[in-house]
Amino acid sequence: MDVLKHFKKGSPKPELPNDGVLRLFLMRFCPYSQRASLVLAAKHIPHHKIYIDLSEKPEWYTDFSPLGKVPAVQLTAVSGQPTIVESLVIAEYLDEQYPVHQLFPADPLRKAQDKILIERLTPTIKAVYPLLFTIDPPEDALPKFENALDVFEVELTKRGTPYFGGTQIGMVDYMIWPWFERFPALKHVLPERYELDKTRFAKLLNWTDLMANDEAIKEIALDSQVHAQFMVTRQAGAPNYDVAFPVTVD
C-alpha cells in the first residue's frame, strides 16, 4: 500500500492490509524517514508506506506511533504488532533482523565507532538547517556548516576507502546520506547559488557521486530542485509535503 499523499488531520484512517508485511510511516521530505527507507530498500525488505503530514497529523496516527513521530515501523508479523520509532533504532533492528547484506560491521568496536560517527553528524544538521529553512540565515551560518562538515572529510581521508563503510556502502553511509542529498539544494535557496568547495571537500564530493549511483539511493532520492521547492514552502510557513508526488487530476 503506497498512497501518494500525506494523511493529515481529518483524514480517515486507511484500511491497511493485514498481510504480515512491515508498515513504514514516514514523511517524504523527512531525512530521518529516509534513513529507514534506505535500509529497507538496500535489504529488499517488502513494506507498505503510509505518509504522514507532520504539521497536521491525523488523529489516528497515535494508534501506531504514540509520540506521533516518524519514521515508525510497525512489525505486523510480530505478536501484538508493535511499532518501533527513532531512525537509528529502526536501522539497527532491521540490520539485525534481516542479516543479508549486513550494514553495520560485525566487530563491536568498529560498530561502536560507526555509531559515534553517525552522532557526530548532529552539529552539521544544526548548522545547515538555518540555511535550508530560514529566509534570512545568520551571517556565520555557512562557515559553521563547512566547519562541521570538515569532520567527515577528515574521517573519509583517515579511513582511506571510497565509502565510510569501506569498499562497500555501510550503515554510516546510509545514515548520513539524506542530508548530503539535500546540500545541493543550497544553490537553489541561497542567493549566491552556493556549492561545496571542490578542493576542501574533494573526498566527500567523490563519495557523493559514488553514493548517487547506489540502487537503493536511486530508488528513494529526490532531485535537489524538488527539495528546494519543499524548502521554499516551509520557509513560507506552509510546508507542502506532497510537492514530491505527481499531480493527479480527479
- Residue 19 CB neighbours (<10 A): 11
Out of 22, 27, 30, 231, pick the active-site residue.
30
Q: What is the reported pTM? A: 0.95
Q: What angle do CA 153, 178, 240 make, to 5 degrees?
A: 140
Q: pLDDT at position 25, please?
A: 98
With a cut of 90, say whether residue 191 has pLDDT above it. Answer: no
Is 59 marked active-site?
Answer: no
Q: For residues 125 and 175, what is the distance between their CA atoms, to the nearest angstrom?
A: 12
All domains of the chain in start order, with CATH: 2-99 (3.40.30.10), 108-235 (1.20.1050.10)
What nine digits make up the cell of 190? 541561497
Any bridge partners for residue 26, and if so which?
51
Residue written as grid cell 564530493: 205
Number of other CB atoms surrounding residue 149 within 10 Å: 23
Q: How far apart are CA 104 and CA 168, in angstroms?
A: 11
> What pLDDT, in 10s, does the model give residues 60-110?
999 999 999 999 999 999 999 999 999 999 999 999 999 999 999 999 999
Check: CB of residue 186 under 8 Å from CB of residue 228.
no
Q: Taking the alpha carbons of 235, 236, 237, 241 in that order, is the dihedral positive or negative?
A: negative
At 98-138, the pLDDT tens digits run 999 999 999 999 999 999 999 999 999 999 999 999 888 89
pLDDT digits (tens, 9 = 90+) for 224-244: 999 999 999 999 999 999 999
